[in-house]
Amino acid sequence: MDKHDRISPAVIRRLPKYYRYLGELTKMGINKTSSRELSEMTGFSASQIRQDLNNFGGFGQQGFGYDVENLRNEIAKILGLDNKYKIIIVGAGNIGQAIANYTGFYEADYEVVALFDKNPKLIGMSIRNAMIMDSDDLEDFLEKEKIDIAVICTPKSVSQQVAEQLVRCGIHAIWNFAPKDLKMPENVHVENVHLNESLFSLTYYYNRMNKEKSKNE
C-alpha cells in the first residue's frame, strides 16, 4: 500500500486550498511564509496546516517557515498537477459549456479536448478549441484517444448509464455534475458535485443570521 493511501481524504481536500493561496503569494512576490500566515489566509489552524504537510514530509524549517515556490511545487506534485490531463465533457448544455470555458483548466494543464451531446443544434459547435460531437460517437472517440478525466453534465436520468459507458471505455476518473450520486466500481474515482447542496447550506446560514438579527432588533 502506498503511504499516501493512508492519508485522510480531508487532508487531500485541504491541499488544493493551500496550493491556491500559495499561488496568490507567488503573484504578490512573497518568497517566505509561515503556518501562522497560511492560517490567516485559509482559515485552518496553524497546527492543522503543519500536521497536514507533515504527512508528506513537512517542507519547512522551524524558525524559517516555508519557501513559497518550493512548497507550492511540492503540493503540485502530491496532487499530480505537474502532469497534463486530457478531459472530455459529456453533456454540452449550460453547465457543460461553462466548464469547457473555465480558464482555470488551461492554467493548470487540463485540456478539454471534446464535448459530447445528442442535441443536433449543438453538434459541430466549438468551445475554445473543443468541438461538440455526437454522443453516438463517444465510444469510437475513446478507442482512439487517451482521455484521463470525464466530466458528466447530463440529466440525472442518463448519468449512471453514461458513467458505466465511460468506465467500459477505460475511464477511471469522473467529475459528476449530474444531480445524482453515481455507483461505480472501487477502481473508479468519482467526485460528485451537487451545486444545490452548497446553495442549501448557504441558505441555512443566511436564515440563521437573519433570525439572530431579528432577535437583537
- Asked if 98 contacts 125 with a C-beta cutoff of 8 angstroms, the reply is no
Q: Is 94 annotated as a binding residue?
A: yes
93 is in an annotated binding site: yes
Q: Is 147 among the annotated ligand-binding positions?
A: no
Using alpha carbons, select from 86, 183, 188, 92 the residue that is nearest to residue 141.
86
Alpha-carbon distance of 115 to 134, in angstroms, equals 9
Whether the CB-CB separation of 192 and 184 falls below 8 Å is answered with no
Residues 99 and 153 sit within 8 Å (Cβ to Cβ): yes
Q: Is 12 annotated as a binding residue?
A: no
Does the annotation list 152 as a binding residue? no
> Is 127 annotated for ligand binding?
no
Cα 75 to Cα 32, 55, 70, 127, distances in angstroms:
16, 12, 9, 30
Residues making up the annotated binding site for NAD(+) are: 91-96
Residues making up the annotated binding site are: 91-96
